[in-house]
Amino acid sequence: MKLIGIVGGVGPFAGLDLTTKIFTQTLAGRDQEHLPVALLSFPGRIADRTEYLLGRVQDNPASAVTEIILQLEKLGATVVGIPCNTMHADPIFGVIEQNLQEQGSSIRLLNMISEVASFIVTEFQGLEKIGILSTTGTWEKEIYGRVLEGNGLIPVSPLQDAQQQIHAAIYDGSYGIKARSHPVTQRARNQLVRGLRHLKDRGAQAIVLGCTEISYALPYHMLEDLPLFDATAILARSLIAQSYPEKLKPLKESGFDFNSISGR
Amino acid sequence: MKLIGIVGGVGPFAGLDLTTKIFTQTLAGRDQEHLPVALLSFPGRIADRTEYLLGRVQDNPASAVTEIILQLEKLGATVVGIPCNTMHADPIFGVIEQNLQEQGSSIRLLNMISEVASFIVTEFQGLEKIGILSTTGTWEKEIYGRVLEGNGLIPVSPLQDAQQQIHAAIYDGSYGIKARSHPVTQRARNQLVRGLRHLKDRGAQAIVLGCTEISYALPYHMLEDLPLFDATAILARSLIAQSYPEKLKPLKESGFDFNSISGR
């Protein structure tokens, strides 16, 4: 049995969202045909990743995440994903990879950012300019920008004022998605849609939803005539492809079927 | 760290639903304040519980579920729940409890059916006649009936014709919830609402949603003036109460606040 492992808790709902997307991207007619998945959601153990990147806490969340990945490996996991974009910043993700190597781990840790870039390049050859909707942490560290460039794509980022509005839609204590997600407030949603239009004005032909909270708020495949690439859903597809490729839903049943832009 | 364990996979979406309800019933202002939860969703290992109860397969799903619970215990789980009503039939649940005892396990396995009955008795003293909306397997084995009676309540079951319609809303291969859950079909929903009216006509003062699929289809707290008791949400509250009672959302913020009937 090949087991898919998920590092949950960053945040708790993002772990659930990734698990849901693994199930909905799987070809299965009855319970027994679904894939084996272990979700370890231990949020209290993991230091805040944004606080760490900003130098406000000393404790690198990489240590706790490494321990959790080793627990998943002990359960039998052969492949693992972390549904948090900020965790993919080099000072954290690089340390996790190094820790795993030092511990002699043979688990395959997928990099969500690389998976998104190679998904776009492989499946949608016509696309070039990709807008990125994310937190300010991801924006500042250019987590997507450098990986997209490495894959021959042109990243399109918001200007500072627009970025602040996007960040507030996620983090604001009164109307942001982290504070009010059931349901998302109209104000948060509107600010994200304005961010998306801003990226379109700047030339983006498609948008990466590069923050797990944005996926809840904009659960669409297209918006403002732009294809939306949900990073969590792409990671879900990669985890399936790496473990049970025969069970992966074909692209045309996956929601990622942008005929108008792929030219197919 | 006290860890909450969940036996997922029966079915996969019910495991997710229980995990979601643990998170939404928890008092938490930020990621780190959420509770540690491990979800092991291994559906391929677990023999079909209804087929077993009907004598169509020999393999008791209790064996696989026991192994999964022991894996959860090894991870550090002190309390565990199984979000599947049919698994609580005596020939399965009784065997799991016996296996755990024989293995010297000290994990606390909650019984979802008993938790529902004691929740109703403790929190809603005015109620007496409780209708049960469930699969035909749960109906035939009187899984709820006997436990409700043991708690001094009067169970109200559908007559056979109505029960068939309720069961079909869950299991029908073309329109049932197991076949089409995203979204649930109007036909499945209508048949469940008719079942609910039938139980009201038979004197029910409140309804137990005694099948995890029914909770997706009827995500309400009241319907047709009847309070709905979602067994999965009650199990979620019990798991929190057994591990981190100080983190349990008060009843009046939980959705279970039926002022009109509780007389409070």
The pLDDT tens digits of the residues spanning A117-162 come to 999 999 998 899 999 999 988 998 899 999 999 999 999 999 999 9
If you write DSSP's letter for every residue of A116-149 in order, what string do you get?
Answer: HHHHHHHH-TT--EEEEE--HHHHHTTHHHHHHH
Say whether pLDDT at A262 is over 50: no
Residue A33 DSSP code: G
CB contact under 8 A, A19 and B16: yes
Structural domains of chain A, with CATH: 3-111+233-253 (3.40.50.1860), 112-230 (3.40.50.1860)
Percentage of chain A beyond pLDDT 90 is 79
Q: Mark yes or no for CB contact A34/B41 under 8 Å.
A: yes
Distance CA A234, CA B259 (A): 45
The predicted-structure confidence for B138-182, as pLDDT tens digits, reads as follows 998 899 999 999 999 999 999 999 999 999 999 898 999 888 877
Is A158 within 8 Å of A170 (Cβ atoms)? Answer: no
Shortest CA distance from A48: residue in chain B: B32
Mean pLDDT over residues B235-263, rounded?
Answer: 83
ipTM summary value: 0.94
Q: How far is A139 from chain B (nearest CA, A)?
A: 21
Model pLDDT, residue B137:
85
Judged against a pLDDT cut of 80, whether residue B243 lies above it is answered with: yes
Please give the Cα distance from B256 to B158 (Å, whole number).
24
Flag if A38 and B39 touch (Cβ within 8 Å): yes
The verdict on B14 touching A (C-beta cutoff 8 Å) is no
All residues of chain A having their beta carbon less than 8 Å from the beta carbon of residue B48 are 31-32
Report the pLDDT value the prediction gives residue B264, as an integer from 0 to 100: 29
CB contact under 8 A, A38 and B43: no
Q: How confident is the model at residue B259 (pLDDT cuts 50, 70, 90)?
A: low
Give the whole-angstrom CA distance, residue A177 versus residue A161.
19
Residue A207's beta-bridge partner residues?
A: A131, A228
Q: Which of B17, B211, B181 is nearest to B116 (CA)?
A: B211
In this prediction, residue A114 carries a pLDDT of 97
Q: What is the mean pLDDT of the segment spanning A247-260? A: 80
Reported as a single tens digit per residue, the pLDDT across B89-113 is 999 999 999 999 999 999 999 999 9
Query: How high is the pLDDT of residue B258?
Result: 65
pTM summary value: 0.94
Please determine, for residue A264, whether its predicted confidence score (pLDDT) is greater than 70: no
Average pLDDT, chain A: 93
Residues 38 to 77 of B: which have CB under 8 A from any A CB? 38-46, 48, 71, 75
How crowded is residue A182: how many other Cβ atoms within 10 Å of its Cβ?
8
- Residue B264 neighbours by CB under 8 Å, 6+ apart: none
Q: Is the pLDDT of residue A258 over 80?
A: no
Q: How many CB pairs under 8 A join A and B?
A: 104
Q: What are phi and psi of A143, to 5 degrees?
A: -60, -45
Q: Quick one: pLDDT at residue B220?
A: 87
Q: What is the pLDDT of residues B112-146, one digit of tens each?
A: 999 999 999 999 988 999 999 999 889 988 999 99
What is the DSSP annotation of A46-97? SPPHHHHHTTS----THHHHHHHHHHHHHHTEEEEE---SGGGSHHHHHHHH
Coil, helix or strand at residue B4: strand
pLDDT band, very low/low/confident/very high, at A1 (cuts 50, 70, 90): confident
Tens digits of per-residue pLDDT, A83-99?
A: 999 999 999 999 999 99
Cβ within 8 Å of residue B46, ≥6 positions away: A31, A32, B9, B10, B61, B64, B65, B68
Specify which residues B208 forms β-bridges with: B132, B229
pLDDT at A261 over 50: no
Q: Which residue has the tokens 């340390």?
A: A95
